[in-house]
Structure 1
């Protein structure tokens, strides 16, 4: 099937070339554009989520051979969550290539986190079907970049330390509550409040929920630590 300039441009941003570009085209087709002879990306999304999960599980196990299942699970969830997929999609400008119905296009569908995350998973499946698991794994690890190492580092610092502090004093794990959100859809800014059973709180603002939670945990840990 002949490639459009749009598909070729996206392939360049993804760093690969499809043998079957129709797979990539399907991965970019939202259900609002599906119809007779035009499949949407929902089935590919289902498959891509599983491929992403396996790649991240392998990467985390290799990156920290001493971590327990309980330690690995939150790191895994942070890497495969829809927000993480949408962040990667924005970095490769996946939204510009999405095939959307008029209503979705008019409502800002190219910037919506859920649509971008779903499409990123569908693209992963398209690579897997087109070139196999190794090709999909290489692309995922390249596009996710230092996120794997960063989530391992984050897991060992403020949030973990605050949870250990609370548990040592018979408290429930800290709660993290989104208290504010600002900025455009493609670059949101989150305010998160960390809360402890004893009523202590601290807030932080950052460009991702994960970073805001880490910063809020660090601020709260500093506050309660001074009271020990």
Structure 2
């Protein structure tokens, strides 16, 4: 099944160049739950390295900080939460090829899936268009985080990830501590903790919503 025209138009907007090899972009957008002989994992592996190089290059060009500070900033910017935030900002969920059950389980809200597919798209862009086009796409996607622009709020999980890195703490750890109600109306409770700082809890209709609420509560208390 070919990619929908609206997805091809969206990909053109993101990369600034129209897709030629549609199969590589289809692979980048396909989750394993589709039960097909392709999925995004290999491109995600590749795109993760391209993203790291693109961000590292930008930090080197724009900052005169010591290596340790640059490494902290890099780790925060390329984190799964940061990539998932980008995914939501660019409207990626509408174009992901996700199986019915995974969709019902909240896959389109999963930071893991969203972050992975951001990286797989970067990998596909590098493969088809080369590093310069992929780098430019990365810089557009991560511009607010890279340049510290005001006026757009960060996703709470992304903000907490950066807060922890900036304060030289280990990454936040999320733990599901409660699940109540029937499957069709379950309520989740998650605890987030940062080593030697503290913890907070949050609730939501999905695990992802509860994690977001917990991150928001943590930042309100300790941020």
Which residue of the partner structure matches residue 189 of structure 1? 213
SS of corresponding position for 1:52: helix
Q: 1:191 to 1:46 in 2, by over 3 A?
A: closer
**TM-score, structure 2 as length reference:** 0.70
Provide the C-alpha distance between the structure 2 equivalents of 1:176 and 1:7, rounded to a whole number of angstroms: 43
Which residue of the partner structure matches residue 49 of structure 2? 50
Q: Please report how far the alpha carbon of residue 22 of structure 1 lies from its aligned counterpart in structure 2 after TM superposition.
A: 1.7
> Runs of 5+ in structure 2 lacking a partner?
150-158, 169-194
**TM-score, structure 1 as length reference:** 0.69
SS of corresponding position for 2:201: strand
Q: 1:22 to 1:159 in 2, by over 3 A?
A: closer
* CA displacement 1:105-144 (0-9 Å, x = unmatched): 1101111110000010000001000100000000000011
Provide the C-alpha distance between the structure 1 equivalents of 2:3 and 2:166, rounded to a whole number of angstroms: 51
1:179 aligns to 2:200 (yes or no):
yes
SS of corresponding position for 1:204: helix
Which residue of the partner structure matches residue 60 of structure 1? 59
Q: Please report how far the alpha carbon of residue 150 of structure 1 lies from its aligned counterpart in structure 2 after TM superposition.
A: 2.6
Please tell me whether the aligned partners of residues 72 and 165 of structure 2 are also in contact (alpha carbons under 8 angstroms): no
Which residue of the partner structure matches residue 25 of structure 1? 26
Please tell me whether the aligned partners of residues 178 and 192 of structure 1 are also in contact (alpha carbons under 8 angstroms): no
* CA displacement 1:22-59 (0-9 Å, x = unmatched): 21111000111143xx3110000000000000011111
Which residue of the partner structure matches residue 96 of structure 1? 94
Provide the C-alpha distance between the structure 2 equivalents of 1:58 and 1:96, rounded to a whole number of angstroms: 31
Q: 1:55 to 1:192 in 2, by over 3 A?
A: same
Please tell me whether the aligned partners of residues 12 and 19 of structure 2 are also in contact (alpha carbons under 8 angstroms): no
Provide the C-alpha distance between the structure 2 equivalents of 1:34 and 1:88, rounded to a whole number of angstroms: 26
SS of corresponding position for 1:141: helix
Q: 1:191 to 1:94 in 2, by over 3 A?
A: closer
Tell me how large the CA RMSD over aligned residues is.
3.1
Which residue of the partner structure matches residue 111 of structure 1? 109
Match of 2:136 among 134, 138, 162: 138
1:80 aligns to 2:86 (yes or no):
no
Please tell me whether the aligned partners of residues 48 and 125 of structure 1 are also in contact (alpha carbons under 8 angstroms): yes
Q: Which has the larger radius of gyration?
A: 1
> Runs of 5+ in structure 1 lacking a partner?
164-173, 194-202, 206-214, 218-228
